[in-house]
Amino acid sequence: MGVLRNRAGTLLSGPERSAMPPPCVSDMLAWVGGSILPLREARIPVNDHGLLYGDSLYEAMRTFRGGLFRLSDHFRRLRTTARGLRIPVEWSDSQLEGWVEDLRRHLPAGEHYIRLLLTRGPGEFSYAPDPLQHPTLMIFGGPFQATPREILEKGLTAVTVGVPRSVPNPRMPGLKTGNLLNSRLAFFEAVERGADEALLLTRSGHLAEGASSNLFLILPGEVLATPSLESEILEGVTRTVLLDLARDMGLVVREEELPAVCLAQAEEAFLSSTTRSVAPLRSIDGRELGCPGPVTRRLMDEFIRLTGGL
Ligand SMILES: Cc1ncc(COP(=O)(O)O)c(C=O)c1O
């Protein structure tokens, strides 16, 4: 594969880099086994099953006004994923929070990006359950830089890609695992086609979500539509917040399996995620959209009212 480029140039340069807010690795610290060190110096054994088998899960969080946003929702999802993967979580929420706060005390003042990564831990080259195996917990953190408002206002371009959304077990959607290859390949495909973002479909051809975000459409009649949890999507923390805000605002909300044809009916669309809050789309598959359209703008304003920022 050649160098990935989009319209603005090489991947991870120009405006698209700033539309991807997690901090640079060189600015990040890692908590591993109680030690805090520059992330680049953090080490784990190469026989960790996270590395050998992609046997891991993670949570990405951020602060607003200095406080971790929806921390308990992230911990709940972490435990749900761990249960789904049968990785024991040996620590209480308050222990986890304590270690996150230890790490944050070493970061510069300001808003922070935090990522928890839990792997099954080092083990044999075998799938056999090993009662002596212990999970490896890592916490990464760095300064959080929100996507500049002008980039959000300009909007992102998205294309539907051929790579399907894939979950390890369709009967257990919503797990935030370290198996991100389909998302990654989907994103590569989008960038190769000159877009900023990929929209993934389920294997049955329904709309699922972005490579690392949830998808919302505004359909005629100010209807806010988003794929339901049965659509193999991740139950995004931001998605839940936005659905609550939308219902409070009196919008008609449709949370259901959405056929791909809905994209052609959308008057507005946006992606949601922890790192980008609400990211309006200015085109999907080359079709221009209102950006940000009036409903998206109202939701952005409500989100800012709730959190203090985007
Ligand atoms: C596949 C996928 N969907 C949705 C989201 C958005 O979830 P959240 O709002 O919890 O960040 C993410 C976030 O990383 C994701 O990876």
**Degrees to nearest 5, angle at CA 205 with 53 and 253:** 100
Please give the number of the atom of ligand 1 that sits closest to the Cα of 237.
10
Measure the CA–CA gap between 199 and 274, rounded to whole angstroms: 17
Q: What are the structural domain ranges in the chain?
A: 21-143, 149-307
Res 105: pLDDT: 98
Measure the CA–CA gap between 82 and 100, rounded to whole angstroms: 18
Strand partners, 105: none
Of all protein residues, the one whose alpha carbon is nearest to atom 4 of ligand 1 is: 213
* Alpha helix (H) residue ranges in 2-70: 14-18, 49-53
Q: Confirm or reject CATH 3.40.50.720 for domain 21-143, answering yes or no.
A: no
Strand partners, 243: none
Res 117: pLDDT: 98
Residue closest to 88 by CA, chosen among 42, 48, 137: 137
Model pLDDT for residues 264-291, shown as the tens digit of each residue? 999 999 999 999 999 999 999 999 998 9
Instruction: List, for the chain, all residue ranges whose pLDDT scores fall below the cut of 70.
Output: 1-21
Ligand 1 centroid, distance to 212 Cα (angstroms): 5
Res 147: pLDDT: 86
Ligand 1 centroid, distance to 49 Cα (angstroms): 23
Q: Which helix (H) or strand (E) holds 141?
A: strand 136-143
Q: Which class for 50: exposed (0-12), middle (13-18), buried (19 or more C-beta within 10 A)?
A: buried
Measure the CA–CA gap between 198 and 158, rounded to whole angstroms: 5
Res 174: pLDDT: 83
Please give the number of the atom of ligand 1 that sits closest to the Cα of 77.
10
Fold of 149-307: D-amino Acid Aminotransferase; Chain A, domain 2 (3.20.10)
Contact 156, 291 (CB under 8 A): no
Res 31: pLDDT: 98
Ligand 1 centroid, distance to 236 Cα (angstroms): 5
Assess whether the C-beta atom of 215 lies below 6 angstroms from ligand 1: no
Model pLDDT for residues 209-268, shown as the tens digit of each residue? 999 999 999 999 999 999 999 999 999 999 999 999 999 999 999 999 999 999 999 999
Res 178: pLDDT: 94
Assess whether the C-beta atom of 234 lies below 6 angstroms from ligand 1: yes
Assess whether the C-beta atom of 236 lies below 6 angstroms from ligand 1: yes
Res 263: pLDDT: 98
Ligand 1 centroid, distance to 273 Cα (angstroms): 5
